[in-house]
Structure 1
Amino acid sequence: MFDLVTGSISKTEGSKTQDETRQGEAYAPFAGDPNLYKKRFYIESYGCQMNFADSEIVASILNQEGFGATRNLEEADLIFINTCSIREKAEQTVRKRLTEFRKLKEKKRGMLIGVLGCMAERLKAKFLEEEKLVDMVVGPDAYRTLPGLVEEAGTGQKAINVLLSRDETYADISPVRLDSNGVSAFVSIMRGCNNMCAFCVVPFTRGRERSRDTASIVAECRDLFEKGYREVTLLGQNVDSYYYNNESAGEQITFGKLLEQVALISPLLRVRFSTSHPKDITDEVLYTMAKYENICRYVHLPVQSGSTRMLQLMNRTYTREWYMAKVDRIREIMPDCGISSDVIAGFCTEEETDHQDTLDIMEYSRYDLSYMYFYSERPGTLAQRRYKDDVPEDVKKRRLQEIVDMQYKLSLESNQRDLGKTYKVLIEGTSKRSDADWMARNSQNKVIIFPKEAYDLKPGDYAMVNVTECSKATLLGKIVETI
């Protein structure tokens, strides 16, 4: 549900998409074997799924240095907070948590506190010198240097490395799966972003785009499958621009070809991806999705605004008509494909006609769900430098509420269209609402809750479920066949 005052979305059951986790969910790692490590670390992650994937890389690096993960702040020798700069609220949350950590450090001698990720790069001086909240500041391309930085901070020095890289992909590091359900895992395929959307700080905090080598991605996905995982989500700021030149084989690997290679690992391994930029998703990708049943029929296609004038100001590089044609193309190739979006209300100079265009394109696209925000100016972005944030906050909130109301209507209509249909679903775990029910997800990324009954099923199993009821957020159903 959307919180109009804070601009955040509370998690619905089973939700795990990139844009929802942007809101600042705390993420504490598993406790692990208490006898295996003498020192302990604790991580909280905020922001996109890339941050959560990065925390798993950090965990792997720290494990090699003799640190084990813990859920208990009190016993941690190292505390890290992996940060996001996409919204002001996320930064406020991080500052509050760092203040709490600092009080804890005063009681435990030798404890070290570090900031990782996007805020680390952007606010390094403030964290270290002005506010004296942390001992270490480590940017998203500098995690390999963590052992040396921890050692340096342990001597009382302030440790910092926020240098961006043109080639770092962490391809050779096997992530430690933190708090995993054992069914679904994220696999990072690229880092950075070359798009310069006017409202976005990511190109400045994560650097230029670079793709990870294909063989390492496929090997990681195969290893996950062999360990019992049944779903992987390929991650990137813009996955559709993935490109790897395999010089030894004389082959250029596009995202469509990568999707196919991962899908061919096993028909039992579901493949998802996030996030797509409308200008880059190709027919090759769409036809590959349609060809393989285990590539999920779901595309997250952020529109941001339905007004061509606003899209130009946002530097999105497409028009309203072009975006609508892309939606048409997706539905032409895959009529059963689920589509979701990101929408921003109240961007600089937005007028009522622009806002109405956004409501109109939402209805045209029939989004299954959207992640909705009012514009929050971020320091260092193109918009902050070029435009005035001139839409009053009360107008932003009113327009946002109208966008939310529209999406509620669309989500309910989307779920009502599923009544009576039967879907192949992947069981992710027991429902949070009842131990007697399973929580699963269909190919279109919709959560389906259904009774366990007498079937011998477990997380990671597939089942055919008929949809019998729905709300705007969830489908309810009944098993008709086990697989």
Structure 2
Amino acid sequence: MQGLIADIDLLEEGKQQEESCEFKTTIDDDSKSKRKLYIESYGCQMNFSDSEIVTSILKKEGFGTTSSPEHADVILINTCSIREKAEQTVRNRLNFFNGVKKKNRDVTVGVLGCMAERLKSKLLEEEKIVDLVLGPDAYRDLPKLVKQAEEGQKGINTFLSREETYADISPVRLNSNGVSAFISIMRGCDNMCSFCVVPFTRGRERSRDPQSIVNEAIELFKNGYREVTLLGQNVDSYKWSAEENNKARLNKKEDVDIVTFANLIEMVAQIDPDLRVRFSTSHPKDITDDVLHTMKKYENICNYIHLPAQSGNSRVLELMNRTYSREWYIDRVDAIRDIIGDECGISSDMIAGFCSETEEEHKETISLMDYVKYDFSYMFFYSERPGTLAAKKYEDDIPLETKKRRLQEIIDKQQKISLERNKLDVGKNFKVLVEGTSKRSKAKMQGRNSANKVIIFDADVPKGTYVNVKVTDCTAATLFGELV
């Protein structure tokens, strides 16, 4: 993971889209299927996980995958609505796909995910740039809607479910390195952060049957994967019970009524010591000491927590409806350092220039960064999203130039802190899970340590193996080392 990810309009770092999980496409598979699917994914890791579910659903209908939209029978774009830039990128891609469609009128073009849920019929009827629109809870309807589109009938399903978790679907791993994989443990979000569209595009929160999660992790381990990342909009609020979810008990030999997130990560960690467990994203209001003590207990639960702050000022946090204060957030950081230790990597999200933010309040964000010492951050200036509580209640009154200047100050601060944190690792030995050759040099290998830091080193070792590496040098983004 690079040391920082910033607004892609402002900085060169933000152009590293593939590394920062901003954008991924399908690859060519080995199937001899006559019908081919091309799918592009934008936004968060949940979207990429969803694309793997979609691919699995269409695979059962006889579709293989292709890396070329020109060779596809169905083109799908899995979208993100978190920022205006993301939506504009999708519109540009849809225009390109319509050019492909003009050359091949048999191809079906569809929009999936958050942008589909937000814009719905506008894409289908007003702009007429797609054949089908599906929200995040409607992917099981995809084969039917594809068939309708092939018969000339446009289709839409943006129904938001209170039950759908896709627990019974085994995802097709796209762009996989064969070492790390995502497992979705829950869907939706009950947090109504005033700047965020997710509760409106992904619906209410519901947790997935824990045994199905464990089974998926076991299957991945059997297939050679050595790291899983448990995904949710707010993993710490994961909660499953036989009664509430109307499911059979987790284990009939035991009277297990409620499975919390701390219980779940322990269950996955117990599969095998060689299976690393990560998770994302944690919410500061919900992360408990139980989770931290469980992380401390198991060496294979990685010492890394993504804990978005968004702002360092309590008044701004209240306007954002984050439901915690600066003091609460600092208490949770202190708990991480006290229970797990300073070696635990912590990352964050930061928004510059939220509605009515003053210069002093911006400086409180900078001072929070100095206190926490984040290893890296995802940093953006505020982008008003239609339909959100902030758009309805507050004026977007911070000038764009001020937003950009404040963002630059946040970026500069994070760059300095990331380098400081990485310098502390020079001379230390780390257990590294090898992911493959370095992106920049095929002569070098790369992997990650428990704190989610990329380490580049000279060696010729198989990916998926664990090696001990001594760090000899660093940048703000990367550690460099040698095999011990």
Q: Distance in 2 between matches of 1:356 and 1:109?
A: 55
3-state SS of paired residue (1:390): coil
Aligned to 1:443: 450
Residue deviations 1:399-456 (CA, integer Å, cap 9, x gap): 000000000010000000111110000000100121221011000000000001xx5x
Asked whether the 8 Å contact 1:271–1:294 carries over to 2, the reply is yes
Pick from 460, 463, 473 the counterpart of residue 469 of structure 1: 473
Q: Check 1:2–1:108 CA distance in 2 against 1; reply closer, same or farther (3 A cut).
A: same
Q: Distance in 1 between matches of 2:441 and 2:101?
A: 39
Q: Map 1:55-454 to 2 at 5 A.
A: 55-247=51-243, 248=249, 249-335=255-341, 336-452=343-459
Q: Distance in 2 between matches of 1:253 and 1:51?
A: 25
Asked whether the 8 Å contact 1:83–1:120 carries over to 2, the reply is yes
CA RMSD of aligned residues (A): 1.4
Q: Distance in 2 between matches of 1:238 and 1:40?
A: 34
Residue deviations 1:213-255 (CA, integer Å, cap 9, x gap): 0000000000000000000000000000000003434421000
CA positional deviation for 1:32: 1.0
Q: Distance in 1 between matches of 2:307 and 2:350?
A: 10
Q: Check 1:166–1:100 CA distance in 2 against 1; reply closer, same or farther (3 A cut).
A: same
Q: Distance in 2 between matches of 1:397 and 1:38?
A: 49
Aligned to 2:26: 29
CA positional deviation for 1:30: 2.1
Q: Distance in 2 between matches of 1:236 and 1:271?
A: 14
Identity of aligned residues (%): 63
Aligned to 1:6: 9
Q: Check 1:346–1:13 CA distance in 2 against 1; reply closer, same or farther (3 A cut).
A: closer
Asked whether the 8 Å contact 1:346–1:375 carries over to 2, the reply is yes
3-state SS of paired residue (1:10): helix
- What letter corresponds to residue 175 of structure 1 in structure 2? P
Q: Distance in 1 between matches of 2:291 and 2:329?
A: 16
- What letter corresponds to residue 25 of structure 2 in structure 1? A
Asked whether the 8 Å contact 2:284–2:308 carries over to 1, the reply is yes
Asked whether the 8 Å contact 2:419–2:477 carries over to 1, the reply is yes
Asked whether the 8 Å contact 2:6–2:378 carries over to 1, the reply is no
Report the TM-score, using the length of structure 1 for normalisation. 0.95
Residue deviations 1:199-220 (CA, integer Å, cap 9, x gap): 0000000000000000000000
CA positional deviation for 1:10: 3.3
CA positional deviation for 1:117: 0.1
Q: Distance in 2 between matches of 1:462 and 1:235?
A: 24
Q: Unpaired runs of 5+ in structure 2? A: 244-248, 250-254
- What letter corresponds to residue 319 of structure 1 in structure 2? S
Aligned to 1:478: 482
- What letter corresponds to residue 265 of structure 1 in structure 2? I
Asked whether the 8 Å contact 2:306–2:348 carries over to 1, the reply is yes
Q: Check 1:119–1:295 CA distance in 2 against 1; reply closer, same or farther (3 A cut).
A: same
Q: Distance in 2 between matches of 1:106 and 1:460?
A: 44
Q: Distance in 1 between matches of 2:449 and 2:15?
A: 18
Q: Distance in 2 between matches of 1:209 and 1:2?
A: 27
- What letter corresponds to residue 461 of structure 1 in structure 2? T
Q: Distance in 1 between matches of 2:393 and 2:354?
A: 13
- What letter corresponds to residue 103 of structure 1 in structure 2? G
Asked whether the 8 Å contact 1:378–1:384 carries over to 2, the reply is yes
Asked whether the 8 Å contact 1:4–1:401 carries over to 2, the reply is no
Q: Distance in 2 between matches of 1:377 and 1:365?
A: 27
- What letter corresponds to residue 296 of structure 2 in structure 1? A
Asked whether the 8 Å contact 1:14–1:447 carries over to 2, the reply is no
Q: Unpaired runs of 5+ in structure 1? A: none
CA positional deviation for 1:74: 1.2
Q: Check 1:161–1:52 CA distance in 2 against 1; reply closer, same or farther (3 A cut).
A: same
Report the TM-score, using the length of structure 2 for normalisation. 0.95
CA positional deviation for 1:158: 1.2
Residue deviations 1:99-155 (CA, integer Å, cap 9, x gap): 000011011121100000000011112211111110000000000011111111111
Count of aligned positions: 469
Q: Distance in 2 between matches of 1:241 and 1:474?
A: 32
Higher relative contact order (CA 8 A, sep 6+): 2
3-state SS of paired residue (2:430): strand
Asked whether the 8 Å contact 1:198–1:315 carries over to 2, the reply is yes
- What letter corresponds to residue 6 of structure 1 in structure 2? D
Asked whether the 8 Å contact 1:7–1:373 carries over to 2, the reply is no
Asked whether the 8 Å contact 2:433–2:465 carries over to 1, the reply is yes
Asked whether the 8 Å contact 2:82–2:385 carries over to 1, the reply is yes
CA positional deviation for 1:11: 6.6
CA positional deviation for 1:270: 0.3
Runs of 4+ in 1 over 3 A off after TM superposition: 1-5, 7-15
CA positional deviation for 1:7: 4.9
CA positional deviation for 1:286: 0.2
Asked whether the 8 Å contact 2:6–2:380 carries over to 1, the reply is no
- What letter corresponds to residue 162 of structure 1 in structure 2? T
